[in-house]
Amino acid sequence: MRGEKSKATTIAVVVALAFAAHGVFAHGDEDHSQDNKKSPAAAATTAPTVGDGPQRLADGSLFIPKPVQRQLGIRTRPAKSGDLAATIELNGKVIADPDAGGRVQAPFTGSVLPGPKGMPLPGRKVTKGEVLAWLRPVAGAIERGNQQAQLAELEAQLAIADGRVRRFEQLEGAVPQKEIEAARIERGALQKRRAFVAASIDAAVPLVAPAAGVISASHHLVAGALVDAREILFEIVDPAHLAVEALAYDAGIGATLISASALAEQTALELKFVGGGRQLREQALPLLFRIVTPNSMVAVGQPVKVMVRTAHEIKGAAVARQALTKVGAGETAVWVHADAERFVARKVRVQSLDAANVAITEGLHEGDRVVIEGAGLLSQVR
């Protein structure tokens, strides 16, 4: 009986503590009926208890518990305003480096025949001077007939010249040596002319690679395909040597340029300025940059955004480009870590610095802790 009474006493104490923890008991003559009533403004900005999950509060800010912040990989950095190099954003595209790539074109109208390794396919590595394919000339009926008639005439002239040389050689000593040499030279010239004409009728011409690299395009060529003169057959690109061409509408950019980078979708590229033209194309000057980023996963023809840093300066805070997010009607904003578990979206005005960073010129205060990693995940909290 004593054991059962002790057990009942313990349960009663636990229950009493549980109720006390939830604020059920009042003490003395105090009235606690108004303790849980708060003004609407206070309720809108007060964060829920730590046990609640991430949620968007009534004022648009976010409540994110510390454990969830660690799971999302949220990282912040204080904003520091200062003088930054002004950047101009240009439209560009990836091209093959003129010093590394190459192009194979048809020198005349003909039929394409496979090379020693078969028809070149996109992605195949080639070496400089390698025979990619053969081109057999194709002519019309009249042109082919004229070539055959010319070949027959040359063969007849060659037969006469060959007979003359043999007769002179039999009369050597009686015929001046200079006439014998002239007959031999004439026979040699006719032999070469006959070979050239015969080759123009049936002989195939090799198509060789002008540079080492990979076949980037073969224009769907198959064995036996007929191509016109000057038609592009194969394009060769060295993936380790690519360039970017951008169009600048300010002729003085080249004089104030400090450095440049490019953004291809989510890939940042480091660029080296090579030079700019002095003739307008589409009302702009073409600027050429080489990609110095190793193993850059970009393709020829891919559009890129080129950020050119100039000698001019602007006032702003540099933050990572991935800190930017969209709010409301597509407005640009960043997330600021206002309290330990509260994040607030700040609409900002930005200007590009390079492929990885931007300058926030308006919307931030000195020392605001800006979310630089995980901003996209915060924007998904509802």
For residue range 112-127, list pLDDT tens digits in order: 999 999 999 999 999 9
pLDDT at position 5, please? Answer: 43
Same domain, yes or no: 231 and 314: no
CB under 8 Å to 323, separation ≥6 — which residues?
334, 335, 370, 371, 372, 375
pLDDT digits (tens, 9 = 90+) for 310-353: 888 888 999 988 899 988 778 899 999 999 999 999 999 998 88
* Surface-to-core class of residue 215, CB atoms within 10 Å of its CB (0-12 exposed, 13-18 middle, 19+ buried): buried
Q: What average pLDDT does the segment 178-192 reach?
A: 90
Is 343 contained in some domain? Answer: yes
Local confidence band at 197 (pLDDT 50, 70, 90 cut-offs): confident
Distance between alpha carbon 310 and the CA centroid of its chain, in Å?
A: 23
| Residue 377 lies in domain | 43-99+239-382
Dist CA 291 CA 299 (whole Å) = 12
pLDDT at position 186, please? Answer: 92
Same domain, yes or no: 90 and 209: no
| Residue 15 CA: distances (Å) to CA of 12, 21, 33, 51, 164 | 5, 10, 22, 22, 132
Dist CA 136 CA 138 (whole Å) = 7
Same domain, yes or no: 154 and 271: no
pLDDT digits (tens, 9 = 90+) for 53-112: 888 898 889 999 999 989 989 999 999 988 888 888 899 999 999 888 899 999 988 999
Same domain, yes or no: 56 and 158: no
Same domain, yes or no: 190 and 93: no
CATH of the domain at 208: 2.40.50.100
Same domain, yes or no: 180 and 202: yes
Is 137 contained in some domain? Answer: yes
Q: How many domains does the chain have?
A: 2
Domain boundary, last residue among 189, 218, 236: 236
* Surface-to-core class of residue 229, CB atoms within 10 Å of its CB (0-12 exposed, 13-18 middle, 19+ buried): exposed
pLDDT surpassing 60 at residue 30: no
Is 157 contained in some domain? Answer: yes
